Amino acid sequence: MSVEIIRDPLWNNIRLDPLSFELIDTPAFQRLRYVRQLGLAFLVYPGATHTRFEHALGTFHLARRALALLEEQSDFQAIDPLDCSLIRAAALLHDIGHYPFSHALEEIGALHHEAVARPLIAQGEVAALLRRELGASATERVVALICGESPSPLQGLISGSIDLDKLDYLRRDAFMCGVSYGEIDVDRLINALTLVADPETGEPRIGMVEKGLSALESLLFAKYQMYRNVYWHHAVRSATTMYKRLVADALDTGALDAATLAGFTDEGLLHDLGARAPSPLLSALRERRLYKRAFECPAAHLPADAAEWIADDRALTVAVENTLADELGLEAGELLLDYPAKTQMLGLDLLVQRAYGEVRRLTAAGWEGAINLPKLSEEFYRSARWLRVYTASRMVISSESVHRLAARSGAEVRARLKSGDSLLNW
């Protein structure tokens, strides 16, 4: 079998089998060359121009490494070789449905990128290649792996607490941003992977040997640091919030069709917006005139579940933004709210093999007498996630007013808007 080699700045040589090389050459995959991995973070970290293309190759590379190590274990003989081929294909294709500028559009209600990937994998050239090489059911099985719905014992390599996606993007993002926050011991984590019998079903599943848990702790800390300092950096979130409002307005006016979003590249979408929906917001984003913070507060200082309507209800958020702007003498679109959508710092559901052979399940309930990663994860999350109000020009908004507004439920805010009473003087 001939093997192609691609040079990668993070993992050096990435070896591609013939099927993978053909998949990479499809138009759907080549689009990923022009979709930045970190969206608009390059406006803050100039090196963050790497793309979903490189990340997909890196995840594929780690899948090959992990499978090679697992194959050395005697229990792995029970795994169908086809499952390994499907894992490699899923690792390569897992981000094929990503929108321009990464996850931002999912925050305004666009379909999740895994759902967008389904037709791209199940139809067209990608589907033909998968079925030719891996069988008639290959497309459905690859999609199931990407969506975390596969019964495959190897599902955890694609979607899980220590999936290979995380291992590549944390290392790659830190490397390209020029920061040390995402440094994790990838080699230790991959070498700690093992096949274990699920104590509830007896079925083989991907797990981890107990001595790898210290590396798992480092992964959690690295993820927290990257969210706090890169992904949710205040200027990155300013640019992201501007972009979200820009696209949302274009969708609302019919200048953009939601069904076509996943076909755009980053620059292709901005160019289309410039032609179809030119606006001061688009010009400001292109010229890096980012909105300034008028208020900010960490989630840890807010009541539980406060302000979740900002993350969950785009229509209500836009209405509140426009009302607040009017109360402050600003134009519509010159005040934006940001409260990043809820994410798990480390979603734990991991089978761990103890030194004496027992298999335990580590979940959000914790593990008495050992580690409390779930509690630590929640504390990290509430520290990294901030509620912010951005304005086009520098100004200060009463923190008491924003706290009162944030503490109200979505239904209360909607009723206040309907009554026409002030939101700042609640």
Kindly report, residue by residue over 245-255, the tens digit of the pLDDT.
999 999 999 99
Q: What's the pLDDT at 425?
A: 93
Q: What's the pLDDT at 367?
A: 62
Neighbours of 75 (CB within 10 A): 13
How far does Cα 41 stand from its chain's mean position?
14
Give me the residues of the chain with pLDDT under 50, please.
Answer: none
Kindly report, residue by residue over 7-20, the tens digit of the pLDDT.
999 999 999 999 99
Q: What's the pLDDT at 371?
A: 58
**Closest of 130, 171, 150, 98 to residue 22, by C-alpha:** 130
What are the residue ranges of helices labelled H in 52-101?
Answer: 52-70, 81-93
Terminal-to-terminal C-alpha distance of the chain: 70
Q: What's the pLDDT at 228?
A: 92
Q: What's the pLDDT at 304?
A: 85
Q: Are 407 and 303 in contact (CB under 8 A)?
A: yes
Angle 353-355-359 from CA coordinates, rounded to 5°? 25
How far does Cα 6 stand from its chain's mean position?
25
Burial class for 97, CB neighbours closer than 10 Å (0-12, 13-18, 19+): buried
Give 335's strand partners. Answer: 391
Kindly report, residue by residue over 269-325, the tens digit of the pLDDT.
999 999 999 999 999 999 999 999 999 999 989 998 899 999 989 999 999 999 999
